[in-house]
Amino acid sequence: MYSFDMESPSTVADAAKALGQDEAQALGGGQTLIPTLKQRLASPSVLVSLAGIAEMKGVCTADDGSLAIGGGTTHATVAAEAGAYAALAALAGNIGDPAVRNRGTIGGSLANNDPSACYPSAALGSGATIVTNKREIAADDYFQGMFATALDEGEIITEVRFPVPEKASYMKFEQPASRFALVGVFVAKYADGVRVAVTGASEEGVYRWSEAEAALSANFSADAVPAAPSGDGMISDLHASGDYRAHLVGVMTKRAVAAAS
Partner 1 sequence: MSVAKPLPHDAARLHVTGSARYVDDIPTPAGCLHLAFGLAEIASGTIARIDLDQTRSAPGVVGVWCAKDLPTDCDCSPSAHDEPLLSDDSIHYLGQPVFLVAATSHLAARKAVALASITYEERKPILSIDEALEAGSHFEEGPRIWQKGDAEQAIQSAPHRLDGEIEIGGQEHFYLEGQAALAVPQEGGDMLVHSSTQHPTEIQHKVAHALDIPMHAVRVETRRMGGGFGGKESQGNALAIACAVVALQTGKPAKMRYDRDDDFMVTGKRHDFRIHYSAGFDAKGRLQGLAFTQYARCGWAQDLSLPVADRAMLHATNAYFVPNVRIESHRLKTNTQSATAFRGFGGPQGMLGMERVMDHVAHHLDLDPTAVRQANYFGSDQNAVPAAVQTTPYGQPVEEFALGEMTKALIESSDFKARQDAVRAWNETQPVLKKGLALTPVMFGISFTLTHLNQAGALVHVYQDGSIHLNHGGTEMGQGLFQKVAQVAASRFGVGLETIKITATDTAKVPNTSATAASSGSDLNGMAVLAACDTIRNRMADHLAQLWQVPSDKIAFGDTSVTDGNRTISFAEAAKLCYEGRISLSSTGFYRTPKLEWDRLRGQGRPFFYFAYGVSASEVVVDTLSGEYRILRADILHDCGASLNPALDIGQIEGGFVQGAGWLTTEELVWDDKGRLRTHAPSTYKIPACSDRPDVFNVALWDGANQEDTIYRSKAVGEPPFMHGISVLMALSDAVASCGRGYPDLNAPATPERVLAAVRRVQNEL
User: Which of 85, 173, 186, 207: binder of partner 1 (CB under 8 A)?
Assistant: 173
- Residue 230 binds partner 1 (CB under 8 A): no
Please work out the total of residues on this chain that contact partner 1, with binding judged by CB under 8 A: 13
- Residue 95 binds partner 1 (CB under 8 A): no
- Residue 240 binds partner 1 (CB under 8 A): yes
> Measured between alpha carbons, how far is 195 from 165 in angstroms, rounded to an integer?
10
Minimum separation from the CB atom of position 112 to partner 1 (A): 16
Region of 46-54, 131-139, 153-161, 169-177 interacting with partner 1 (CB under 8 A): 169-177
- Residue 4 binds partner 1 (CB under 8 A): no
User: Which of 15, 87, 247, 253: binder of partner 1 (CB under 8 A)?
Assistant: 247
- Residue 191 binds partner 1 (CB under 8 A): no
> Measured between alpha carbons, how far is 74 from 114 in angstroms, rounded to an integer?
17
User: What is the spatial order of strands in the sheet that 157-162 belongs to?
Assistant: 59-61, 67-70, 157-162, 129-132, 136-138
Region of 20-28, 135-143, 158-166, 247-255 interacting with partner 1 (CB under 8 A): 247-255
- Residue 190 binds partner 1 (CB under 8 A): no
> Measured between alpha carbons, how far is 71 from 110 in angstroms, rounded to an integer?
9
Q: Check: CB of residue 160 under 8 Å from CB of residue 69.
A: yes
User: Which of 6, 97, 153, 177: binder of partner 1 (CB under 8 A)?
Assistant: 177
Q: What is the largest CA-CA distance in the chain?
A: 56
Minimum separation from the CB atom of position 164 to partner 1 (A): 29
User: Which of 248, 256, 257, 260: binder of partner 1 (CB under 8 A)?
Assistant: 248
Region of 18-26, 152-160, 208-216, 241-249 interacting with partner 1 (CB under 8 A): 241-249
Range 55-94, binding partner 1 (CB under 8 A): none
- Residue 244 binds partner 1 (CB under 8 A): yes
Q: 35: helix, coil or strand?
A: helix
- Residue closer to partner 1 by CB (options 220, 244) is 244
Number of neighbours of residue 214 by Cβ within 10 angstroms = 14
Spell out the long-range contacts of 194-198 with Cβ–Cβ below 8 A and sequence spacing 24 or more: 194/220, 195/124, 195/125, 195/126, 195/127, 196/125, 196/253, 196/256, 197/120, 197/121, 197/122, 197/123, 197/124, 197/125, 198/121, 198/249, 198/253
Which residues are at the interface with partner 1 (CB under 8 A)?
A: 173, 176-178, 238-241, 244, 247-248, 251, 254
